[in-house]
């Protein structure tokens, strides 16, 4: 007899397009993948990812940043996370810095994907930072979230060469393609 795999229950936090969210949902539909996407939380009611999640029949909770301040957002989130018995949080294009208090409650249970080869190019517009520096490579990184921005322990990262005719769009697209591969791998 085979033991049925017990999937860990994850929540994904999004603010926008949701393509990394989609890659995690798709991976988690495989019965051998050890995680189940149980709920999506968005701080932006207009995020594309909101509709996308609904298409996959994953519950979505929206606490819009225009209506709730950070501490309200985090209180509501915490309740949702407990209700859904969430064990891990994946940030996927979630463009809001979590408070120390929230990170403390979920210590070692929050991971993030960042579009650079960390520790290079932390923070916003990582792809643009790499181009402006005329770096020869950049990449993407999945890491644990701690109180310092983009500085938690690295789980998995991948390098991407920058070629001379790259612009922001072409480079971001190439990075994103790799993101969709490494995020599910890292979560696993
Ligand atoms: C991704 O490139 C992700 O790495 C980046 O935002 C994009 C979200 O796209 N995240 C950050 O820059 C976090 N600092 P998606 O909504 O299609 O997944």
In residues, how long is the chain?
Answer: 188
CA of 114 relative to ligand 1 center, distance in Å: 6
Q: What is the mean pLDDT of residues 61-90?
A: 98
- Which pLDDT score, from 0 to 100, does residue 134 have? 97
Q: CB within 8 A of 82, min separation 6: which ones?
A: none
Average pLDDT for 32-57: 98
CA of 92 to the centre of ligand 1 (A): 6
pLDDT tens track for 125-166: 999 999 999 999 999 999 999 999 999 999 999 999 999 999
| Ligand 1: residue whose CA is nearest its atom 5 | 93
User: Does the Cβ of 60 fall within 6 Å of ligand 1?
Assistant: no
Arithmetic mean of pLDDT, 158-179: 98
pTM over 0.85: yes
């Amino acid at each position: 007899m085979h033991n049925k795999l017990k999937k860990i229950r994850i929540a994904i936090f999004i603010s926008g397009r949701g393509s990394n969210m989609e890659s995690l949902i798709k991976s988690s539909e495989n019965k051998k993948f050890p995680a189940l996407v149980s709920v999506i939380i968005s701080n932006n009611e207009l995020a594309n990812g909101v509709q996308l999640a609904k298409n996959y029949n994953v519950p979505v909770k929206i606490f819009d940043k225009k209506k709730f301040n950070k501490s309200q957002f985090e209180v509501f989130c915490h309740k949702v996370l407990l209700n859904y018995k969430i064990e891990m949080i994946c940030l996927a294009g979630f463009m809001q810095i979590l408070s120390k208090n929230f990170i403390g409650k979920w210590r070692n249970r929050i991971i993030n994907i960042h579009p650079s080869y960390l520790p290079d190019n932390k923070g916003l517009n990582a792809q643009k930072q790499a181009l402006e520096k005329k770096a020869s490579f950049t990449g993407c990184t999945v890491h644990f979230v701690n109180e310092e921005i983009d500085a938690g322990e690295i789980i998995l990262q991948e390098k991407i060469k920058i070629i001379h005719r790259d612009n922001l769009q072409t480079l971001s697209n190439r990075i994103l393609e790799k993101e969709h591969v490494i995020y599910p791998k890292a979560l696993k």
